[in-house]
Amino acid sequence: MKKTVRFAVSLDHHLLDDLDRVLVQKKYETRSEAIRDLIRDHLVAEEWDKKKEAVGTITIVYDHHIHDLTEKLTDIQHDFHKLILSTMHVHLDHDHCIEVLVVRGKGRDVRTVADSLISTKGVKHGKLTMTTTGKELA
């Protein structure tokens, strides 16, 4: 069983007010849970900076009428097929599509595939959302 440790934290009152405002916005029940999430978020970011296995999503929005864009995006995905677990393609309107890719691999490699897709000429917006496999977190 994990042991809970209590400790004191000193903060400038303005910073504490900001934290409390975030607690209300995000519906945290306690300051402790919010601080635990902040720590976990930092630890997850460190995992991505190391050569550890991580997971995430890559989201891209593009106009599918742009010449050869769909083929270029598909070719990139085939180049990195070992990192891509799943994809979802949605038609937003007559012209625009969104694709969401679930990826898993070394953080450095996942960033490479995300950068390749997002920087492809014709992609209007893209974002890599990083998370963790959860193995390393308490």
Q: For the chain, which residues make up each domain, given as ranges?
A: 13-49, 53-131
- H or E stretch at 31: helix 31-49
Residue 50 has pLDDT above 70, yes or no: no
- Mean pLDDT of the region 100-109: 93
Residues 6+ apart with CB under 8 A from 12: none
Matching residue, tokens 């450095």 = 108
104 SS3 class: strand
Model confidence at 116, pLDDT cuts 50, 70, 90, reads: very high
Percentage of the chain exceeding pLDDT 90: 64
Assigned CATH topology for domain 53-131: Alpha-Beta Plaits (3.30.70)
